[in-house]
Amino acid sequence: QSALTQPPSASGSPGQSVTISCTGTSSDVGGYNYVSWYQQHPGKAPKLMIYEVSKRPSGVPDRFSGSKSGNTASLTVSGLQAEDEADYYCSSYAGSNNKVFGTGTKVTVL
């Protein structure tokens, strides 16, 4: 199972929005509504930010939103804040009881 494709980096100024794409295939992202997004600060464990494409766990700010179109999912962070600077990974159920992660995107707040 190949990793989902994400851009290596993305950036924005405080208050701006940044959108990260996550491209897979019809066997993973396009085939199931089980796309999730994780935020990881250096040296820390990943944190669930979005699940089932667009749902936010309790405690995650509504500045974080998710969507999906075809084989590509997206995470948008609106109103960027300094603490949003981190690595972000998408993940998808990939059938046959497999899960696959994205290649990761480093978000920089300028």
Positions in the binding site for another protein (CB under 8 A): 1, 3, 32, 34, 36, 38, 44-48, 51-52, 57, 89, 91, 93, 97-104
From the CB of 72, what's the least distance to another protein, in Å? 18
From the CB of 39, what's the least distance to another protein, in Å? 11
69 versus 98: smaller Cβ distance to another protein: 98
16 versus 55: smaller Cβ distance to another protein: 55
Distance CA 47, CA 90 (A): 11
**Strands (DSSP E) found in the chain:** 9-12, 18-23, 35-40, 47-50, 64-69, 72-77, 86-93, 99-101, 105-109
12 versus 104: smaller Cβ distance to another protein: 104
47 versus 63: smaller Cβ distance to another protein: 47
From the CB of 89, what's the least distance to another protein, in Å? 5
CB-CB neighbours of 60 under 10 Å: 16
Distance CA 88, CA 103 (A): 9
From the CB of 109, what's the least distance to another protein, in Å? 21
Nearest of 42, 49, 39 to residue 104 by alpha carbon: 39
